[in-house]
């Protein structure tokens, strides 16, 4: 579960709290989708009883309070300062509600939008409006009708990785079911951040990701599993099989506040809703998976190099100075670059590698 609703990464600049949409950004039409109760426009006949009149006043006051809150927008600054307002809120509402039969509830509705004028940003915003804006709309309609809310909380967090912004949205349903949504956007390229892009940055393959995800999910399943009665038609193995069958490499992943790959999965359960969503990190911080690094060729030119590294780690090869020629360095299955005349770096992939070092005389590399 997110630990800081609608908050940005601690490493990103502080956010501001304007009371209107960001400069140059019009308030989306969807903010005014709620139908105004007829009584607020044309006037209604006075309630036949004092109790009905009090209830009508409550609903009217609640409606106007919601309008005031809806048009306030929280904003998160873009990490490197080149974007003044990276995120604004389509809905921003916190309050207290009592339905027509006296049930009392508090609600928190914060639905983010990416403040960028690109095709990918608009597509992401449309997805967020469809996935989470609609459910908030339904709650406002329920308030107008005086009926109970089936969702009381929709909140978000922002995580930054350079120019990349990752939004994690969390929403509840009927109090005990949690739903998630993750969306990545790169302000530098103006493009959506996909799983493949994340895998490339971390130097891992789809196969390794799915392998680690299945392992992590199996462990989580066993931790959450509640034994079923003897003779039941379902079992530990059948529920685990269902859980693993729902995994997909296309399911959105994101980089969290620690720069680790995170996603959410649905764990099958013998009771209740049948399955529940849980956040999970396939590659945990204490993961001991590592691969070998072997120096080949003119090995005497290498001063130091790690013998192994984990996927996604930056490996630095330090070489000696060459005065009567030059040196050429390459890595099998990975792209690297010379940082200066004695340092060469590459991102460790998810397999063993060979670092090829070659001396070339007369400076002809």
The burial class, CB within 10 Å (0-12 / 13-18 / 19+), for 251 is middle
Residue-level pLDDT at 121: 97
Please check the confidence at residue 341 and state whether its pLDDT lies above 70. Answer: yes
Over residues 205-240, the pLDDT tens digits come to 999 999 999 999 999 898 888 887 777 788 888 999
Over residues 119-148, the pLDDT tens digits come to 999 999 999 999 999 999 999 998 999 898
Please check the confidence at residue 51 and state whether its pLDDT lies above 60. Answer: no
Residue-level pLDDT at 287: 56
Q: How many CB atoms lie within 10 A of CB 122?
A: 13
More confident residue, 33 or 194: 194
**pTM of the entire structure?**
0.61
Please check the confidence at residue 37 and state whether its pLDDT lies above 60. Answer: no
Cβ 358 vs Cβ 331: under 8 Å: no
Please check the confidence at residue 252 and state whether its pLDDT lies above 80. Answer: yes
Q: Where are the domains of the chain?
A: 29-193, 201-280, 291-361
More confident residue, 73 or 326: 326
- The three-class DSSP label of residue 216 is helix
In percent, the amount of the chain with pLDDT more than 70 equals 73
| Least confident range of 49-63, 121-135, 213-227, 242-256 | 49-63
Residue-level pLDDT at 40: 27
**183 alpha carbon, distance to own chain's centre:** 6
| Least confident range of 53-57, 149-153, 254-258 | 53-57
Average pLDDT over residues 161-167: 93
Q: Which residues lie below 8 Å from residue 248, measured CB to CB, with a gap of 6+?
A: none
Look at phi and psi of residue 364 and say left if phi exceeds 0, alpha if psi is from -120 to 50, else beta: beta
Q: Could you tell me the pLDDT band of residue 288, with boundaries at 50, 70 and 90?
A: low
- Mean pLDDT, the chain, rounded, equals 78
For domain 29-193, give its CATH number from 3.40.630.40, 2.40.110.10, 3.40.50.720, 3.30.565.40: 3.30.565.40
Residue-level pLDDT at 47: 38
Q: Which residues lie below 8 Å from residue 343, measured CB to CB, with a gap of 6+?
A: 316, 317, 318, 319
Q: How many CB atoms lie within 10 A of CB 3?
A: 7
**310 alpha carbon, distance to own chain's centre:** 23
H helices, E strands: number in the chain: 6, 17
Residue-level pLDDT at 360: 84
- Residue 11: both structure tokens together: 């490493």
Give which of 182, 249, 238, 180 is closest to 214, Cα–Cα: 249
Q: Could you tell me the pLDDT band of residue 195, with boundaries at 50, 70 and 90?
A: very high
């Amino acid at each position: 579960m997110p630990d800081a609703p609608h908050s940005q990464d601690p490493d990103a600049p502080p956010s501001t709290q304007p009371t209107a949409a960001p400069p140059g950004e019009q308030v989306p039409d969807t903010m005014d989708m709620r139908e105004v109760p007829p009584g607020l426009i044309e006037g209604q006949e006075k309630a036949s009883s004092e109790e009905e009149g009090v209830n009508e006043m409550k609903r009217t006051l609640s409606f106007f309070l919601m309008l005031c809150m809806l048009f306030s927008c929280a904003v998160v600054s873009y990490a490197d300062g080149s974007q003044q307002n990276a995120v604004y809120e389509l809905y921003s509402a916190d309050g207290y509600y009592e339905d027509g039969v006296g049930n009392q509830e508090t609600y928190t509705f914060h639905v983010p939008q990416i403040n960028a004028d690109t095709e990918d940003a608009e597509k992401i915003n449309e997805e967020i409006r469809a996935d989470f804006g609609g459910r908030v709309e339904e709650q406002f309609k329920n308030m107008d009708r005086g009926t109970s809310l089936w969702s009381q909380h929709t909140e978000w967090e922002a995580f930054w990785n350079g120019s990349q912004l990752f939004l994690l949205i969390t929403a509840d349903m009927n109090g005990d079911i949690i739903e998630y949504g993750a969306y990545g956007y790169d302000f530098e390229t103006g493009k959506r951040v996909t799983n493949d892009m994340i895998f490339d940055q971390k130097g891992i393959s789809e196969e390794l990701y799915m392998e680690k995800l299945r392992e992590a999910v199996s462990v989580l399943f066993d931790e959450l599993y509640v034994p079923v009665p003897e003779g039941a038609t379902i079992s530990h193995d059948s529920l685990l099989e269902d859980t693993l069958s729902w995994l997909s490499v296309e399911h959105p992943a994101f980089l969290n506040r620690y720069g680790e790959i995170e996603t959410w999965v649905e764990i099958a359960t013998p009771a209740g809703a049948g399955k529940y969503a849980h956040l999970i990190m396939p590659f945990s911080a204490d993961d001991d998976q590592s691969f070998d690094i072997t120096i080949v060729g003119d090995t005497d030119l290498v001063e130091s190099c790690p013998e192994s590294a984990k996927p996604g780690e930056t490996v630095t090869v330090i070489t000696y100075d060459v005065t009567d020629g030059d040196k050429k360095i390459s890595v099998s299955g990975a792209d690297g670059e010379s940082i200066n005349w004695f340092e060469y770096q590459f991102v460790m992939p998810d397999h063993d590698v060979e670092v090829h070092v070659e001396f070339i005389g007369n400076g002809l590399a």
